């Protein structure tokens, strides 16, 4: 157990995600909840009534004025506010964890990534919590260690049942969120594909609204410098998926790898040192270590592990596992996919 004083952390934005972060902070070793912030004063008492106890402020200006000692913030406001809030907190000298996506558009994402580079002593992190699933980290390790030889093609899909009727609010307003399924939820799978294969170089994509004013369903073809290509498919309007279900199937020169939220399996055609012939299956429970799993069916250990990594990065003076440069890469890919849906052309990914 470290004898260092806890990292005093404020949560900014007390909606669905902020309440969860506020509840989780006290279970992270060496982290303490210093303050709660939201533009809406009602959220302070609501959040305190379910457990997290810390002073409430209705702006970051008030937070900075009234908090004697603050080390870090977790920002869980809508993405159209990320640039302004994120940069203000960096300029105040704080370590900043920012919910995904980095921003609602590429211009804001670049400004955030630039600001992070100007403050190299401060830790920046972006909330790709699924990238903290130990099973998915292990899948990336095995793929890169050559378990199925050279990856040649993949098909990746994420489906859930969130939008089955007309919806309102910032999430469903392109100017505020940046789009629909892709930027609000599908970025987790894009990030995982980056963990597996690195950054794509060009994309072709199509999308359509079904019930809302943004895209509810989207398909893309992503190509890579090695010649690898893969299809990406996302919908939040498919009945029958009460929790998000992800599946990635990779075809390689020696076999296949299939990865879901719960297990991964490898089929090696001939078998080789360290990889058995035929199927081997691994369940996520073999890797989990989270001390607090809020929701085993969706994201639980990822939410814990990402805050634990943020705290350790601050302590160890190292970058977070997924920093704002990672956030910018995913934004560049997201932006290229959206441009392709608009132009119906093959679009190069900016880098
Ligand atoms: N990682 C995940 O699994 C996941 C899931 C859902 C949402 N998110 C992301 O988390 C962020 C928040 O989403 P949510 O669903 O919790 O939103 P929400 O609408 O439920 O809550 C947002 C809160 O932020 C407050 N707010 C808005 N602007 C503010 C500002 N400038 N300063 C202080 N407070 C402000 C609002 O009053 C509201 O209480 C978004 O970026 C979203 O994309 C991540």
Higher-confidence residue of 239 and 292: namely: 239
Mean pLDDT, to the nearest integer, of 42-64?
Answer: 96
State the distance from the centre of ligand 1 to the C-alpha of 75, rounded, in angstroms.
8
| Residue 299 resides in a domain | no
Q: 266 and 176: one domain? A: yes
State the distance from the centre of ligand 1 to the C-alpha of 345, rounded, in angstroms.
33
Compute the distance between CA of residue 124 and CA of residue 328 in angstroms, rounded to an integer.
12
Looking at the CA of residue 169, tell me the nearest atom of ligand 1.
19
Contact 280, 265 (CB under 8 A): yes
pLDDT at 196 over 60: yes
Of 12, 17, 187, 214, the residue with max ligand 1 atoms within 8 A of its CB, to mutate for a pocket test, comes to 17
Token pair, residue 120, equals: 């190299």
CA-nearest residue for atom 17, ligand 1, is: 15
pLDDT at 292 over 80: no
pLDDT at 297: 67
Q: What is the CATH number of the domain that holds 283?
A: 3.30.360.10
CA 344 from chain centre, in angstroms, equals 27
| Residue 168 resides in a domain | yes
pLDDT at 298 over 70: no
Q: What is the CATH number of the domain that holds 62?
A: 3.40.50.720
Of 10, 11, 16, the residue with max ligand 1 atoms within 8 A of its CB, to mutate for a pocket test, comes to 16
Q: 80 and 118: one domain? A: yes
Q: 151 and 260: one domain? A: yes
Q: 60 and 159: one domain? A: no
State the distance from the centre of ligand 1 to the C-alpha of 18, rounded, in angstroms.
7
Give the H/E segment covering residue 157.
Answer: strand 151-159
State the distance from the centre of ligand 1 to the C-alpha of 137, rounded, in angstroms.
26
Higher-confidence residue of 297 and 93: namely: 93
CA-nearest residue for atom 27, ligand 1, is: 77
Q: 247 and 277: one domain? A: yes
153: confidence class by pLDDT, cuts 50, 70, 90: very high
- pLDDT tens digits, residue range 122-135? 999 999 999 999 99
Q: 182 and 229: one domain? A: yes
**Per-residue b/e over 20-29, b at no fewer than 16 CB within 10 Å?**
bbbbbbbebe
Distances (CA, A) of 10 to 60, 67, 72, 320: 10, 10, 7, 18
Total Cβ atoms within 10 A of residue 341: 20
Give every strand in the sheet of 7-12, ordered side by side: 56-57, 31-37, 7-12, 72-75, 95-98, 124-126
pLDDT at 3: 74
pLDDT at 288: 79
- pLDDT tens digits, residue range 324-342? 999 999 999 999 999 999 9
Tell me the pLDDT of the chain averaged across its residues. 95
| Residue 30 resides in a domain | yes
| Residue 2 resides in a domain | no
Of 35, 77, 130, 243, the residue with max ligand 1 atoms within 8 A of its CB, to mutate for a pocket test, comes to 77
State the distance from the centre of ligand 1 to the C-alpha of 85, rounded, in angstroms.
12
pLDDT at 299: 65
**Percent residues over pLDDT 70 in the chain:** 97
| Residue 298 resides in a domain | no
pLDDT at 119 over 80: yes
Higher-confidence residue of 175 and 293: namely: 175
pLDDT at 93 over 80: yes
Compute the distance between CA of residue 331 and CA of residue 21 in angstroms, rounded to an integer.
23
pLDDT at 4 over 90: no
Compute the distance between CA of residue 263 and CA of residue 277 in angstroms, rounded to an integer.
18
Q: 72 and 177: one domain? A: no
| Residue 197 resides in a domain | yes
pLDDT at 108: 98
CA-nearest residue for atom 4, ligand 1, is: 17
Give the residues surrounding ligand 1 with Cβ less than 6 Å away: 12-18, 37-40, 43, 76-79, 81, 85, 99-100, 127, 129, 184, 299
285: confidence class by pLDDT, cuts 50, 70, 90: confident
| Residue 297 resides in a domain | no
Q: 236 and 309: one domain? A: no
pLDDT at 351: 84
pLDDT at 290 over 80: no
Q: How many domains does the chain have?
A: 2
| Residue 84 resides in a domain | yes
pLDDT at 264 over 60: yes
**Percent residues over pLDDT 90 in the chain:** 92
Containing structural domain, residue 271: 131-292+330-348
Q: 139 and 96: one domain? A: no
- At residue 84, the 3 state secondary structure works out as helix
Looking at the CA of residue 81, tell me the nearest atom of ligand 1.
31
CA-nearest residue for atom 7, ligand 1, is: 17
pLDDT at 281: 97
Looking at the CA of residue 17, tell me the nearest atom of ligand 1.
16
State the distance from the centre of ligand 1 to the C-alpha of 100, rounded, in angstroms.
10
State the distance from the centre of ligand 1 to the C-alpha of 91, rounded, in angstroms.
21
Q: 212 and 110: one domain? A: no
Mean pLDDT, to the nearest integer, of 134-157?
Answer: 97
345: confidence class by pLDDT, cuts 50, 70, 90: very high
Q: 313 and 341: one domain? A: no
Q: 17 and 120: one domain? A: yes
pLDDT at 1 over 60: no
pLDDT at 296: 66
CA-nearest residue for atom 15, ligand 1, is: 16
């Amino acid at each position: 157990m470290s004898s260092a004083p806890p990292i005093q952390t404020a949560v900014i934005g007390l909606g669905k995600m902020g309440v969860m972060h506020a509840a989780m902070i006290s279970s992270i070793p060496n982290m303490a909840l210093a303050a709660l912030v939201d533009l809406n004063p009602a959220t302070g008492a609501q959040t305190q009534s379910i457990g997290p106890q810390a002073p409430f402020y209705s702006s970051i200006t008030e937070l900075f004025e009234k908090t004697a000692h603050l080390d870090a913030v977790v920002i869980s406001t809508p993405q159209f506010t990320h640039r302004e809030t994120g940069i203000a907190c960096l300029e105040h000298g704080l370590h900043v964890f920012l919910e995904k996506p980095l921003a609602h558009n590429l211009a804001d994402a670049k400004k955030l990534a630039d600001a992070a580079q100007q403050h190299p002593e401060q830790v920046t992190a972006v909330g790709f919590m699924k990238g903290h699933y130990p099973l998915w980290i292990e899948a990336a390790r095995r793929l890169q260690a050559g378990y199925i030889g050279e990856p040649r093609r993949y098909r990746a899909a994420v489906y859930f049942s969130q939008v089955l009727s007309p919806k309102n609010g910032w999430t469903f307003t392109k100017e505020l969120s940046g789009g629909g399924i892709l930027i609000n939820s599908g970025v987790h799978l894009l990030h995982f594909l980056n963990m597996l294969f690195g950054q794509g170089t060009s994309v072709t994509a199509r999308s359509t609204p079904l019930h809302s004013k943004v895209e509810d369903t989207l398909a893309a073809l992503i190509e890579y410098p090695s010649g690898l290509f893969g299809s990406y498919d996302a919908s939040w309007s498919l009945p029958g998926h009460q929790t998000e279900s992800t599946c990635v199937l990779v075809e390689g020169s020696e076999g296949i790898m299939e990865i879901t939220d719960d297990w991964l399996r490898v089929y090696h055609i001939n078998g080789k040192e360290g990889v058995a012939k035929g199927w081997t299956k691994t369940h996520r429970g073999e890797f989990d270590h989270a001390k607090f799993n809020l929701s085993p069916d969706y994201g639980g250990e990822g939410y814990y592990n990402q805050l634990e990594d943020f705290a350790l990065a601050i302590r160890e003076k190292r970058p977070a596992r997924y920093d704002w440069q990672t956030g910018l890469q995913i934004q560049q890919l997201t932006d290229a996919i959206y441009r392709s849906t608009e132009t119906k052309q093959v679009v190069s990914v900016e880098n």
